[in-house]
Structure 1
Amino acid sequence: MTTAKLMAQRGAAKIGLIDRNEALLANSSATIRELGVEVATAVADISRAETAHRGFDDIVSKLGRIHALVNSAAIYPRRPILEITDEEWDLENAINVKGTYHMMVAAVRHMRGFVNPPEIAGRIVNVTSVDAFKAHPQNAHYAATKAAVVSLTKSFAQECAADGILVNSVAPAGFATDRAKELGFLPELAKASALGRAAEPVEMAEWIVMMASSRNTYATGENVVISGGYIYV
């Protein structure tokens, strides 16, 4: 939501939102419309190709050409490694990895062919995590999915460069979302960070918006770590 709102404030003419939570979509779209931006929404389960692609196509039918995709959907369970069940593994992969993959495929199919490279046909930004690079207790399955998304980002960047599509990822450390506050790890993270604090959501959104915007004309296959000095990769 923070990223979509910042995009609206930075001049995006149209914004599409996809989520499986219809009530959340309604609230988010209302907030963005107050900024004078056209908004389209689609309720979709992105863990399945057919429903993910249908949701993306629904947005296209309402808004027209899509210039940028931001993949930020993820679930963040906590479980000791000896207690993770097959069902939890499957759900984690379904949302964090397969969901990201399905949306990227839908975006690439839409974006390719609009212009002739080296002109930019579109941009994709995936939200990963420093957990892809730094182990934390009770976090193995989530970290594994985020490492997979980093790898997917690089693979798509290689294959889609010829189509003029830039694909990158942004890897934040923990930032002050309601969920992070609820889990209670922000004070520990802040203490371990060079800047001595967790990031605010808008500080993460700034990097995502920049990578998705026309200001990015050359970066592709990159994973930008934004951690306030918590980790150096």
Structure 2
Amino acid sequence: MKNLTTVIVGGASGLGLVTAKLMISQGATKIGLIDRNPELLASAARALQELGAEVATAVADISRAETAHRGFGEIAGQLGRVHVLVNSAAIYPRKPILDITDEEWDLENAVNVKGTYHMMVAAVRHMREHVNLPEVTGRIVNVTSVDAFKAHPQNAHYAATKAAVVSLTKSFAQECAKDQILVNSVAPAGFATDRAKELGFLPELAKASALGRAAEPSEMAEWIVMMASHRNTYATGENVVVSGGYIYV
């Protein structure tokens, strides 16, 4: 990650913050965080600064193009050229399929699909200003989910949005290939976040996985960082499933 500046959406906590810390351990010195929670952003920024990174933050509603693009622009204005975007922001509701309201559908799509799209547009416009062919111009990594491929009870609207992000990833990869912007996604099975522990599905997931356990966030972050790093020079339009043998796609 040396000399690569990264913007992480949803980077104030959870997998996004774990990914930021791993990037710093692998040589990143500039990290931008976008989130909707200013208190968490401030805390995350302090933690990353203590690790030696220059950190810029932006509070943004990514469901709206104007505010999403403004947030990206604020960070680019502070850190300079951005090489990597990681989209890890999402909401994960649980509700029986017959009880999902229009408002819940709209919110899920607004954050998980439109938010991801808006941030990708902002990043591509910025990265195209710095095209340096034949070298890779930029890298975008979206966090999807095995739920895009395997149904779960009370999970229909979340799963549908993650399937949409897999499709968006492939579409952006095709259109951005000429600019050497590599666009990929990583699809985790459930892993040991505070939210997953609260919902209580990790023991069931562990039993269904070939490895017999749920993953740690750091294990998922490794794949995100690999796809975002100098090591990735050829993969684009790929969705990497990391499930410990829970699902084979």
Query: What TM-score results when the alignment is normalised by the length of structure 1?
Result: 0.99
The answer to whether the 8 A contact 1:117-1:162 is kept is no
CA distance in 2, matches of 1:136, 1:175: 15
- Per the TM alignment, residue 8 of structure 1 is displaced from its structure 2 partner at its CA by 1.1
Please list the CA deviations of residues 130-162 of structure 1 after superposition, one character each: whole Å capped at 9, or x if unmatched. Answer: 000000000000000000000000000000000
Q: 1:57 aligns with which of 66, 73, 89?
A: 73
Give RMSD over aligned pairs: 0.6
Aligned to 1:151: 167
Q: Which runs of 5+ in 1 are unaligned?
A: none
> Runs of 4 or more off by more than 3 Å in structure 1?
none
Aligned to 2:235: 219
Please list the CA deviations of residues 67-100 of structure 1 after superposition, one character each: whole Å capped at 9, or x if unmatched. Answer: 1000000000000000000000000000000000
- Per the TM alignment, residue 13 of structure 1 is displaced from its structure 2 partner at its CA by 1.3
Counting only pairs closer than 5 Å after superposition, residues 27-38 of structure 1 correspond to structure 2 as 27-38=43-54
Q: 1:130 aligns with which of 127, 146, 150?
A: 146
The answer to whether the 8 A contact 1:113-1:121 is kept is no
Aligned to 2:8: none
- Per the TM alignment, residue 115 of structure 1 is displaced from its structure 2 partner at its CA by 2.9
Aligned to 1:5: 21
**Residues 1:40 and 2:56 are matched in the alignment:** yes
**Residues 1:72 and 2:72 are matched in the alignment:** no
Q: Percent of pairs identical after alignment?
A: 85
- Per the TM alignment, residue 118 of structure 1 is displaced from its structure 2 partner at its CA by 2.8
Q: Which runs of 5+ in 2 are unaligned?
A: 1-16
Q: 1:203 aligns with which of 214, 219, 225?
A: 219
The answer to whether the 8 A contact 1:8-1:35 is kept is yes
Query: What TM-score results when the alignment is normalised by the length of structure 2?
Result: 0.93
CA distance in 2, matches of 1:13, 1:116: 21
**Residues 1:88 and 2:104 are matched in the alignment:** yes
Paired letter, 2:172: F
Paired letter, 1:108: V
CA distance in 1, matches of 2:196, 2:94: 12
SS in 1 for 2:45: helix
Counting matched residue pairs gives: 233
